[in-house]
Structure 1
Amino acid sequence: MAVRVVVGQPEAHCFEMVAYIEWAANQPLLAGAGGTLLAASVSYIITKAAGRREEMRQLRGALETAIKELGSRDQSALDRALTTIDRMADALRPAVRQAVQPLGTTANSLTVGTAERTVVLNIADRDAVMADVPPEITSESDYIVRITELDMETGNCRIAIIGEDDARIAGKIVDPAVAVPNNPYVTAMAACVPLRVRAKALIRDGAIERLYLSDAINT
């Protein structure tokens, strides 16, 4: 089936290009519940590849609702449809890897979805997608850390989480402030004092493997 795609001109200093699939827009099915199913499916595929379990759970509920709105009320048919989407998510993992490759190189985030529901991927999600066995990415939380090493150009660091064991773990500061002289991260490291930060944790086998720091919190 031929599909015509029209792409709007990107804005200056922005990597976003809004694509309109003309055939899909003219189909009553896809303009209604079918469109909701398509958007929820794409978001589910991406969050599964990134190991974002809480969002997967929420999107699975949206998928069930969209399938029911298409007329499928039988539980066995619903289960088969969801199983098909799960298999599709596994098959499309290479495509998701291609989509997230620019993160950390030419872009800091990637937004996928519709006006009603969006999924924002960052560098932590890219690392999770690229991993052979996807780890879990937690939501943002507060941590008190001690920074022992820091590269102000790349944001790579070594940190210890206060209250955990003394083992140091890898960190990545995605806050642009890390490149500014005398920023809170380098100041805390130089003074050998703990720092409260907002961060997402990459968890593998039940342990925090890497911390992605997005903000330093004044206390």
Structure 2
Amino acid sequence: MQADAFIAEDLNLPFEIRYEGLDAAHHRIDMAALAESLDGFSRIYAVIGHFISTGQYAKQMQALNVKAYAQESEAKCFNISAVLDFASSAGLFQGMMGAALTAIVAYVIHRNSGNREEMKHLRELLEQQLGYSKQVTERMMDTIDRLSDGLRPSVKKAVSPVGNTCSRIDLYAEGSKHQTMDQSLKDSLADDGESQILSEKVYTVEISEMDRIKKTCKVHLVGPDTEEATEDDGTPRRINADITDPAALIEPNVYMEAWFKSTKIKVKAKALLRNGLIVKMYISDTA
């Protein structure tokens, strides 16, 4: 009787998708980009919802026992309030379906973006919070890996508005933000080769080019972060960078000053790696 109560309690899981910045800051968004994004999110949430309720990975939408519904939402940035409606539940994640949903959504996103540092949290949820044995955990992780790889096209669709009609997408569950999908993640999905997004850290750089309108620049690493001292022609290896720090909108600012004076500057940034080299940086603040 108690088990039925837990399952019934979890038959509807609310979540929210918020599109932030650019057009979305004015409570509007390009309809074509929104349609593509929602098509991706619909499959991501429905496939993962089916898994957490049955323990099975189903590729065909017709086979899923979960539907993702959009609901009426309030005007903020541009947000979509939604709910997963379960036709039935086997109680695989009994009493923790919400936690399982956010953890697996995060795993799918980060596995496809190559952010390996974030992927350990799902394993910890399965082993520590749910108390599954190592053998059961490995079997479930294998299924989730296949599920993640199958959802790669949907993740690409979901993030399509970023950089075009919004600057990022924030995912919410139970009123709290649990994931951000930004330009760095979108860029990591653009290349089907080996790529990886590193977690934010502090780098010391010199800015050699600056576009104050687009908030982009070229930098080269200095000090202990330097991978290669020079290019083939003897000049420092330069890396394209986007500046998402709102301070870059103000003139003058520390980035323009560092570029104008050719001085070193410490920045907080995510780095996109391809073939082991940093090919792009996403600067969020100074350090």
TM-score clears 0.5: yes
Deviations 1:137-159 (A, max 9, x none): 12222222111111112222111
1:7 counterpart = 2:77: no
The Cα of 1:63 is off from its aligned counterpart by 3.6
8 A contact 2:268–2:283 mirrored in 1? yes
SS of corresponding position for 1:126: helix
Alignment coverage as a number of residue pairs? 211
1:206 counterpart = 2:273: no
Alignment of 1:156-171 (within 5 A): 156-163=216-223, 164=226, 165=229, 166-171=236-241
The Cα of 1:89 is off from its aligned counterpart by 0.4
1:121 counterpart = 2:184: no
- Per the alignment, residue 147 of structure 1 pairs with 207
Moved more, 93-102 or 157-166: 157-166
The Cα of 1:94 is off from its aligned counterpart by 0.5
- Per the alignment, residue 102 of structure 2 pairs with 39
Of 146, 159, 166 in structure 2, the residue corresponding to residue 107 of structure 1 is 166
- Per the alignment, residue 173 of structure 1 pairs with 243
8 A contact 1:41–1:63 mirrored in 2? no
Unaligned runs of 5+ in 2: 1-64, 230-235
The Cα of 1:64 is off from its aligned counterpart by 4.0
SS of corresponding position for 1:96: helix
Deviations 1:146-200 (A, max 9, x none): 1111111222211111122231111111123323322211121111212221111
SS of corresponding position for 1:140: strand
8 A contact 2:123–2:137 mirrored in 1? no
Runs of 4+ in structure 1 off by over 6 angstroms are none
- Per the alignment, residue 22 of structure 2 pairs with none
8 A contact 1:173–1:214 mirrored in 2? yes
C-alpha root-mean-square deviation of aligned residues, in Å? 2.6
Between the two proteins, what is the percent identity of the paired residues?
32
Distance 1:2 1:205 in 2: 39
SS of corresponding position for 2:111: helix
Output the amino acid matched with 2:125: A
8 A contact 1:50–1:134 mirrored in 2? no
Distance 1:2 1:78, change over 3 A: closer
Distance 1:160 1:6, change over 3 A: closer
SS of corresponding position for 2:180: strand
Output the amino acid matched with 1:150: M
Distance 2:171 2:127 in 1: 20
Output the amino acid matched with 1:154: K
Distance 1:195 1:6 in 2: 45
Distance 1:78 1:4, change over 3 A: closer
- Per the alignment, residue 55 of structure 1 pairs with 118
The Cα of 1:113 is off from its aligned counterpart by 5.1
Output the amino acid matched with 2:162: L
Give me the TM-score of the superposition, normalised by structure 2.
0.65
Distance 1:92 1:61 in 2: 22
Of 6, 10, 17 in structure 1, the residue corresponding to residue 80 of structure 2 is 17
Unaligned runs of 5+ in 1: none
The Cα of 1:33 is off from its aligned counterpart by 2.8
Distance 1:114 1:2, change over 3 A: closer
The Cα of 1:86 is off from its aligned counterpart by 0.1
The Cα of 1:56 is off from its aligned counterpart by 0.5
Output the amino acid matched with 1:85: I
8 A contact 1:49–1:134 mirrored in 2? no
Distance 1:192 1:4, change over 3 A: closer
Output the amino acid matched with 1:196: K
SS of corresponding position for 1:147: strand
Distance 2:84 2:286 in 1: 42
Output the amino acid matched with 2:72: G
- Per the alignment, residue 195 of structure 1 pairs with 265
